[in-house]
Amino acid sequence: MSADQRRYGPRHRLLSVLVENKAGVLARVAGLFSRRGYNIYSLAVAPTDNERFSRISIVVDVESAPLEQVVAQLDKLINVVEIGELHPDEAREAELLLVSVSVDARQRSQVIELVGVFGGRIVDVGHDAITVMVAGTPEAIDDFEDLMRPYGIAGLQRTGRIALPKLDGRSSASGAAAPPVGIA
Amino acid sequence: MELTGAQALVKSLEMQEVEVMFGLPGGAILPVYDPIIDSPIRHILVRHEQGAGHMAEGYAQATGRPGVAMVTSGPAATNIVTALADAYMDSIPLVCITGQVATSAIGTDAFQETDTTGITLGVTKHNWLVTDAADIPQIVREAFHIATTGRPGPVLIDFPKDVANASMEWYWPDGVDLPGYHPASHPDPEAIRAAAALILAAERPVIYAGGGILKSRASEALRELVNLTGIPVVTTLMARGSFPDSDPLCLGMPGMHGNYAAVTAMQRADLLLALGSRFDDRVTGKVSAFAPGAKVVHVDIDKAEIGKVRRPDVGVVADCRLAIEALVGEIKAFGSPDDNWLAPWIATIRRWQAEYPCTYDRSESGRGATSGTSRRPTLKPQFVIESLRAATPADTILVSGVGQHQMWASQYWSFEYPNTWINSGGLGTMGFAVPAAIGAKVGRPDRMVWAVDGDGCFQMTAQELATATAERVPVKIAILNNAYLGMVRQWQHMFYEERYSEVYLSPDLPDYVGWAESMGCIGLRVESPEEVTPAIEKANEIDDRPVVIDFRTDSMEQVFPIVPAGASNDDIVTYQSRSGSGAEVLP
List, for residues A94-124, the tens digit of each pLDDT value: 999 999 999 998 899 999 999 999 999 999 9
Q: Which residues of A touch B129 (CB under 8 A)?
A: 23-24
As a whole number of angstroms, the distance between CA A76 and CA A53 comes to 17
pLDDT tens-place string over residues B437-448 = 999 999 999 999
Beta strand pairing call for B20-24 and B67-71 = parallel
Residue B49 appears among annotated catalytic residues: yes
Indicate if A7 and A82 belong to the same structural domain: yes
Type of residue found at B211 = G
Distance, in Å, from the CA atom of A77 to the CA atom of A30, rounded to the nearest integer, reads 11
**Residue B135: partners with Cβ closer than 8 Å, 6 or more residues away:** none
Q: What is the pLDDT of residues B276-333, one digit of tens each?
A: 999 999 999 999 999 999 999 999 999 999 999 999 999 999 999 999 999 999 999 9
Give the burial string for B417-435 (b: 16+ CB within 10 Å, else e): ebbbbbbbbbbbbbbbbbb
Residue A73 shares a structural domain with residue A26:
yes
Active site residue B111: yes
Alpha helices in B234-277 (DSSP H): 260-268
* pTM metric for this prediction: 0.93
B223 has a pLDDT exceeding 50: yes
Q: How far is A50 from chain B (nearest CA, A)?
A: 14
For B118, name the nearest residue in chain A, comparing CA atoms only.
A27
Domain count, chain A: 2
- How many other CB atoms sit within 10 Å of the CB of residue A14? 23
Computed on alpha carbons and rounded to an integer, the radius of gyration of chain B in Å comes to 25
pLDDT at position A1:
40
Q: Is B125 on the interface with A (CB under 8 A)?
A: yes
Q: Are residues A61 and A99 in the same domain?
A: no
Residue B191 has what pLDDT?
Answer: 98
Instruction: Report the pLDDT value the prediction gives residue A183, as an integer from 0 to 100.
Output: 31
Which region among A11-20, B247-256, B318-327, B470-479 has the lowest average model confidence (pLDDT)? A11-20
| Residue B587 pLDDT class (50, 70, 90 cuts) | very low
Q: How far is CA B317 from the centre of its chain?
A: 23
Chain B residues inside the 8 Å CB shell of A82: 180
Average pLDDT, chain B: 95
- Encode pLDDT of B387-432 as tens digits: 999 999 999 999 999 999 999 999 999 999 999 999 999 999 999 9
pLDDT of amino acid B580: 45
Judge if A97 and A81 occupy the same domain: no
Q: Is residue B584 scored above 80 in pLDDT?
A: no
Q: A116 and A80 in one domain?
A: no
Q: What is the CATH number of the domain that holds B285?
A: 3.40.50.1220
Which residue in A has a C-alpha nearest to residue B143's C-alpha? A78
In a domain, A180, yes or no: no
For B307, the closest of A23, A68, A76 (CB atoms) is: A68
C-alpha gyration radius of chain A: 18
Q: Would you say residue B8 has pLDDT above 50?
A: yes
The verdict on whether B487 is a catalytic residue reads yes
| pLDDT at residue A87, rounded to an integer | 85
Confirm whether A184 is domain-assigned.
Answer: no
Q: What number is the ipTM of this complex?
A: 0.90
B161 classed as catalytic: yes
The DSSP secondary-structure symbol of A183 reads -
* Same-domain status, B132 and B272: no
Looking at chain A, which residue has its C-alpha nearest residue B307?
A69
B573 assigned to some structural domain: no
Distance CA B574, CA B581 (A): 14
What's residue A180's pLDDT?
A: 37
Domain co-membership, A154 together with A99: yes
- Contact check, Cβ <8 Å, B179/A68: no
Q: Nearest by CB to A31, from B121, B302, B304: name it.
A: B121
| B382 and B345 assigned to the same domain | no
The domain in which residue B240 lies consists of 189-355
Dist. CA B281–CA B422, nearest whole Å: 20
pLDDT digits (tens, 9 = 90+) for B559-575: 999 999 999 999 999 98
Q: Touching check for B126 and chain A: CB below 8 Å? A: yes
Asked, as a colleague might, if the bond just before B564 is cis with ω within 30 of 0, I would say no
Q: How confident is residue B547, by pLDDT bands cut at 50, 70 and 90?
A: very high
- Structural domain contains residue B76: yes
For B129-188, write each residue's pLDDT tens digit.
999 999 999 999 999 999 999 999 999 999 999 999 999 999 999 999 999 999 999 999
Q: For chain B, what is the domain count? A: 3
Catalytic residue among B7, B16, B22, B49: B49
Q: CA-CA distance, B457 to B121, in Å (whole number)?
A: 27
State how far the Cα of A6 lies from the Cα of A139, in Å rounded to an integer: 8
Cross-chain residue pair B180–A20, CB shorter than 8 Å: yes
Domain membership of residue A172 (yes or no) is no
CATH code, domain carrying A106: 3.30.70.1150
CATH number at residue A76: 3.30.70.260
DSSP A167: G
The answer to whether the bond into B561 is cis (omega within 30° of 0) is yes
| Residue B2 known to be catalytic | no
Chain A contact for B40, CB < 8 A? no
pLDDT of residue B375: 67
Say whether B329 sits in a helix, a strand or coil: helix
pLDDT at B92: 98
Q: Do A27 and B304 touch (CB under 8 A)?
A: no
pLDDT in tens, B54-104: 999 999 999 999 999 999 999 999 999 999 999 999 999 999 999 999 999
Number of H helices and E strands in chain A, helices first, is 4, 9
Look up the domain containing A16 and give its range: 3-86
| pLDDT value for B582 | 36
Are B409 and B552 members of one domain? yes
- Which chain B residues contact residue A76 at CB under 8 A? 125, 302, 304
Q: Is B124 on the interface with A (CB under 8 A)?
A: no
Q: Does residue B455 sit in the same domain as residue B479?
A: yes
